Structure 1
Amino acid sequence: MVITIEIRKMYRYPFERVVDMHLNKYPTPLEQDVRGIKTVEEKRDHVSGIVYRKRIAVCNNVLPSILRKLTVMDVDDVFLEEESWLDLKQKTMNIKSRCLTWTQFATLQEVSVFKESPANPNWTEFFQKGSVTVTGVGRLNRLFELFAQSFFSKGVQKSVQVMETILEQKFGHPCS
């Protein structure tokens, strides 16, 4: 079974500020499960100006103890990969993220887009679609799917809230 989550959000801040916050928001005390992010590759296409980045995030394992009874699930660190393509000319940033841990049991992927709002150039539209597919834990697949659906939904909402809070702390109240 594939579990999907979609979110749309309008940040009432200019594109450059929102993208900068996305790229620099972790680590933060507002989200203790993301312990750090390291850029492992960065390059700029000199013709298009697009900046490509590959980053690895180190996160806490948030699986409940019942799911961690499987030895393979009882790890401290969970690794996520994020690839992004930032186009400052077009004011868009496309992102693909995936979980690198437990790939033999599940696939977790997200596709996100930040872009300048056509309705107001001082605002930034955000769209994210994520999916989780659990395949490799036999009779426990459904239990993992239920956890993934709940965690994924809460995680997306928390990520948006963290962005809003950091933007407001750094730049004040949103633009109208």
Structure 2
Amino acid sequence: MMVVSINIKHIYRYPVEFVANIHFIKYQCEEEKFVKRIDTLEHRIDPVRGIDYKRRVAVCDNVIPSILRKVHILNEAAILFEEHAWLNVRERCLHLKSRNLTWEKYAQMHETSTFKPCSENAQWTLFEQHGEIDITGLGPFGRMIEVFAEKFLHAGIKRSLTIMEVLLKKKWAMVKENRS
């Protein structure tokens, strides 16, 4: 058994509030081909503390290769992920926690992410993410799934950063155009 782990730091050259807004719409864009929909299950705003909380579930394509889907439990139509998001408007920080709902008995995927002002420039956003995938109880297939998961995770990170940068650039241009 092995735990697949990732750590990312990335600077977006846009304010936190803008980046947080784009995070909440990025999965409804055509560039993100694996996410079918996002369902918001809970949304609360605490005006006293300045916190906007959302609990969402992403419904994603099952990207497990067909050869591995011959293992009955892996042959799901969709994979579900839950995200908890706390946007603290006073501290200009978005904190996220995500985990898988599908295959919880066999695989645990946990991610924590933070978007906060960058120390180099308060109008830029520092994105930090830590994620782990731990496969248990699948015998020799577990290792094959971990190898696949690691490759898919790294490709997904690159895709996600690219999608964010493209959307940020496009939406920022629209904001600037509307101000003119």
Name the TM-score, length of structure 2 as normaliser: 0.93
Let me know the Cα RMSD of the aligned residues. Answer: 1.2
After the TM superposition, list the runs of 4 or more consecutive aligned residues in structure 1 that deviate by more than 2 angstroms. none
Q: Deviations over 1:15-57 (max 9, x none)?
A: 1110000011122110110111111001122321111110001
Q: 88-97 vs 68-77, which deviates more?
A: 68-77
Structure 1 residues not aligned, in runs of 5+: none
What SS does structure 2 have at the residue aligned with 1:13? coil
The CA deviation at 1:132 is: 0.3
Match of 2:38 in 1: 37
Match of 1:75 in 2: 76
What SS does structure 2 have at the residue aligned with 1:172? helix
What SS does structure 2 have at the residue aligned with 1:32? coil
Distance 1:86 1:69 in 2: 41
Q: How many residues align?
A: 173
Match of 2:106 in 1: 105
Aligned residues: percent identity?
40
**2:118 aligned with 1:117:** yes
Structure 2 residues not aligned, in runs of 5+: 175-180
What SS does structure 2 have at the residue aligned with 1:65? coil
The 5 Å alignment of 1:79-98 reads 79-98=80-99
Distance 1:60 1:139 in 2: 24
Match of 1:162 in 2: 163
Distance 1:113 1:139 in 2: 35
Distance 2:95 2:146 in 1: 27
Q: Deviations over 1:74-109 (max 9, x none)?
A: 111111000011101100011000010011110011
Distance 1:151 1:160 in 2: 14
Distance 1:172 1:10 in 2: 19
More helix by share: 2
Name the aligned partner's letter for residue 157 of structure 2: V
Distance 1:91 1:140 in 2: 43
Name the aligned partner's letter for residue 156 of structure 1: I
